[in-house]
């Protein structure tokens, strides 16, 4: 299906007392609605993701020191990634919003391994300080969930189902 990408104008700050689930649901929908205001006949997809370690939300680290600290905290532990997904059919004003979870268990990692990874991948704009589609896969001992693409940030299995529910069957879509 032909598509274009648009950077939504949304403040991604967490609201006071907001749960991780509520945060990704709200931001995915806000991103879709932000873009939808400028696309009157489009099907708009919005997405947002957070990493959760225990009861702590791990945001994008932004720099080397915070990335090392995040990965050090994650080493040997299970981290849950929550991806909020929104499909907004602007023409019908129908909005679908869902959360797709995916978990990873990190290997026990030495400080040297963590530093080497951060310096090679520079995952400063990635929730949890890694990119599974690159060298980040070497950080994991185990992965679990229904949709592995959720870990990258856009759960394609759920997206296909949501598009189909909105009347857009990608298998029947003409080029």
CATH number at residue 68: 3.90.950.10
Tokens, residue 15: 């609201």
Residue 15 φ then ψ, to 5°: -80, 150
Let me know if 98 is a catalytic residue. no
Tokens, residue 11: 């403040």
- Position 146 in a domain: yes
What angle (nearest 5°) sits at the alpha carbon of residue 93, between those of residues 91 and 99? 120
- Position 175 in a domain: no
Determine the Cα–Cα distance for residues 85 and 91; give it in Å rounded to an integer. Answer: 19
54 DSSP 8-state letter? T
- Position 10 in a domain: no
- Position 157 in a domain: yes
Give 171's contacts (C-beta < 8 A, 6+ positions apart). none
- Residue numbers of the domain that contains 102: 20-165
- Position 161 in a domain: yes
Tokens, residue 175: 């080029």
- Summarised one tens digit per residue, pLDDT across range 81-109 is 999 999 999 888 899 999 999 999 999 99
Indicate whether 60 pLDDT > 90: no
- Position 96 in a domain: yes
If one counts the domains in the chain, the total is: 1
Residues 134, 121 contacting (CB under 8 angstroms): yes
Residues 65, 75 contacting (CB under 8 angstroms): no
Bridge-partner residues for 51, per DSSP?
58, 81
Residue in 11, 22, 48, 169 annotated catalytic:
48
- Position 174 in a domain: no
Q: Look over the chain and give the mean of its residue pLDDT values, rounded to a whole number.
A: 92
Q: What is the mean pLDDT of residues 145-149?
A: 93
Indicate whether 175 pLDDT > 60: no
- Position 12 in a domain: no
Predicted local confidence at residue 174, as pLDDT: 60
């Amino acid at each position: 299906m032909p598509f274009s990408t648009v950077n939504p104008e949304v403040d991604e700050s967490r609201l006071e007392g907001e749960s991780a689930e509520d945060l990704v649901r709200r931001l995915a929908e806000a991103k879709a609605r932000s873009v939808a205001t400028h696309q009157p006949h489009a099907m708009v997809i919005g997405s947002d993701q957070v990493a959760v370690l225990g009861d702590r939300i791990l945001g994008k680290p932004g720099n080397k020191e915070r990335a090392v600290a995040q990965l050090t905290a994650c080493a040997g532990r299970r981290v849950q990634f929550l991806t909020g997904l929104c499909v907004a059919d602007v023409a019908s004003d129908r909005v679908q919003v869902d959360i797709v979870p995916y978990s990873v268990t990190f290997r026990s990692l030495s400080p040297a391994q963590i530093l080497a990874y951060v310096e090679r991948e520079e995952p400063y704009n990635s929730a949890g300080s890694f990119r599974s589609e690159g060298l980040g896969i070497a950080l994991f001992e185990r992965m679990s969930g229904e949709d592995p693409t959720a870990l990258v940030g856009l759960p394609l299995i759920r997206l296909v189902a949501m598009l189909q529910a909105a009347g857009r069957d990608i298998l029947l879509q003409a080029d």
